[in-house]
Amino acid sequence: MRWLATLVVVAWVQAVTPSAHAWEHWPGEWNPGRPHLALVDAVAPLPTTRRIEQDVFRLEVPFRTQKDGGPWQVSNCGPATLGMVLDGFGLGGQPTDDLRYRAHWYQGTVGSRTGTALEHIAQVAEDFGVPTIGLYAEGGRFHAWSLDEIREQLRLGRPVMPLIRLYLLPGKENVGPRWGHYILLTGLTEDGFFYNDSLQTDFAIGTSGWIPAVQLERAMYSSHFPGQALAFGSPRMPPLKVWTP
């Protein structure tokens, strides 16, 4: 009867194990448990917080395109944008599809072509030790960000990832209005914001997007979760380089 017991176990494992699909080579050391950040963080003194005071600046965050020819490129803006953040903080080497697998494991949609919810992007970022800021308000609701809150996080050297309506992004006016999209806000001008956009394929274009403040606010507050965004970083993260004109 031992062979029967083995057959039952194999059938059960096949039933509960999510299909890897495009992620046959996802890192085997990972497990879905959320590791706690080092306890030393709770007692060690915080480094001095750097604040960027220039009127115009941009955080130098590496570019990553979601248009990589893979089967998930249409809906990979979240994982690709997270990949830029990890690369910027010196945590490179994570393929976009691997980041997608990790996020969609939490989301329960492995193998689906759907997009990635921001709370699961946050979970994966924190798995890599990158603190996230501002996703939730009191009562567990999503926080609705103001432009001034975004400006302050950028001045502290923390890139911000908002959910927007794609058709309200400059140059995307003809895209279907139902599409949501993530961009990565990286800097400020007197009347607008710099951003990285994973829908681009060229590094120079992908890292130098600019959107007027009023247009960004409209794009964010027209999204499925109005005003939803997430900032990445803390005083203990390695500081990103800053470009100024």
CB atoms within 10 A of CB 2: 6
Mean pLDDT of the chain: 83
| pTM of the entire predicted model | 0.82
Average pLDDT over every residue of 142-171: 96
Answer whether residue 17 shows pLDDT above 90.
no
119 neighbors 144 (Cβ within 8 angstroms): no
What whole-number distance in Å separates Cα of residue 218 and Cα of residue 173?
13
What whole-number distance in Å separates Cα of residue 90 and Cα of residue 224?
32
Give me 29's structure tokens: 């050391």
Return the pLDDT at 174: 80
Answer whether residue 19 shows pLDDT above 50.
no
Range of the domain at 157: 56-243
Return the pLDDT at 25: 41
19 occurs within a structural domain: no
17 occurs within a structural domain: no
231 occurs within a structural domain: yes
20 occurs within a structural domain: no
Q: What is the CATH number of the domain that holds 95?
A: 3.90.70.10
161 neighbors 154 (Cβ within 8 angstroms): no
Number of domains in the chain: 1
Where do we find the tokens 């203990």? 236
26 occurs within a structural domain: no
The three-state secondary structure class of 227 is coil
- Place 228 in a pLDDT band, splitting at 50, 70 and 90: very high
Taking Cα atoms as reference points, which of 48, 119, 60 lies closest to residue 90?
A: 60
14 occurs within a structural domain: no
239 occurs within a structural domain: yes
Percent of the chain with pLDDT over 90: 70
The pLDDT tens digits for 108-149 are 999 899 999 999 999 999 999 999 999 999 888 999 999 999
Return the pLDDT at 14: 29
Q: What are the φ and ψ backbone dihedral angles of 242, each rounded to 5 degrees?
A: -120, 125
Residues contacting 17, CB < 8 A, separation 6+: none
